[in-house]
Amino acid sequence: MMKKSNREIIMLFFVLVGGITSQLTAQDKYLDKNGIIIFEASEKLFEEVKAMNESATVILNTETNQIASLALMKGFRFKNSLMEEHFNENYIESETYPKATFKGKLIDFNANDLNEKNTEVSVEGVLELHGRKKQIDTKLNMQKIGNIISMTGEFITTPNDFDIKIPKIVRNKIAKEVNVKFDFKLKKK
C-alpha cells in the first residue's frame, strides 16, 4: 500500500515536472513557416534579377536569443522562368546545395522589452549556402504585436562570397552586390 502511493507520488512528480518544462520550452519559441526572403542583383537598363521565397522557416528562441533560419533554393521564384532555371542549374546548383541556412544570435536582446514600437536589434551569425559559409552581421527592425514578433532587415553579400561563378556573357547584367531583404512574422509556438 505504502509502496504504491510512493510510486504514484513519484509519477505525479515526473508528470508535473515534465509538463512544466515542456511548457517552458514551448513558450520560449517563436516560429515562422512562411518567412519572406527577397534577393535582388539587378543592373540598371537590364532585366531585373530578383527572386522571392515565401516559405522560409525561422525559429527564434527568446530565452537563449538564438535564431535559425532555412530557405530552400527551389523555393525562390523569379519573374522570368529561364532565369529561375539558370539560377538553380548553373549558379546556385540547388540539386547539390538545396538550402540556405542562417544560424545566429540576437545581441543584447530581451524579448520582454519588445512592444509595438520599432526596436533596432543587432544580429550576428553565419549564412551558409552553395556549400560555403559567411559571417553576416546586420541590424533587425523588430516589434511585437500581440503574440507575433515582426522582424525585418536586409544585408548585402556577393556571389563571390559563396564561390558562385557568374559567366562573362551575363556579368554586366548581374550586379556585383546582392541585396537580401527579409520579412518574418514569428508566432509563439
Site for other proteins, rule CB under 8 A: 31, 33-34, 54-55, 57, 59, 68-70, 72-75, 80-82, 84, 95, 98-99, 101
> CB-wise, 179 or 183, nearer to other proteins?
183
Kindly state the smallest distance separating residue 72's Cβ from other proteins, in Å. 4
Kindly state the smallest distance separating residue 2's Cβ from other proteins, in Å. 43
Count of other CB atoms within 10 angstroms of residue 140? 20
Please say whether the beta carbons of 124 and 56 come within 8 A: no
Q: Calculate the CA 125 to chain-centre distance.
A: 11
Kindly state the smallest distance separating residue 106's Cβ from other proteins, in Å. 17
Phi-psi region of 45 (alpha: psi -120 to 50; beta: other; left: phi over 0): left
> CB-wise, 54 or 161, nearer to other proteins?
54
> CB-wise, 38 or 59, nearer to other proteins?
59
What is the torsional sign of CA 133, 75, 138, 42? positive
Kindly state the smallest distance separating residue 128's Cβ from other proteins, in Å. 13
Residue 120 burial (C-beta neighbours within 10 Å; 0-12, 13-18, 19+): exposed
> CB-wise, 136 or 179, nearer to other proteins?
136
Kindly state the smallest distance separating residue 98's Cβ from other proteins, in Å. 5
> CB-wise, 25 or 34, nearer to other proteins?
34
For residue 189, what is its C-alpha cell?
509556438
DSSP 3-state assignment of 84?
helix
> CB-wise, 81 or 112, nearer to other proteins?
81
Cα gap 84→157, rounded to integer Å: 19
Kindly state the smallest distance separating residue 75's Cβ from other proteins, in Å. 5
Please say whether the beta carbons of 131 and 154 come within 8 A: no
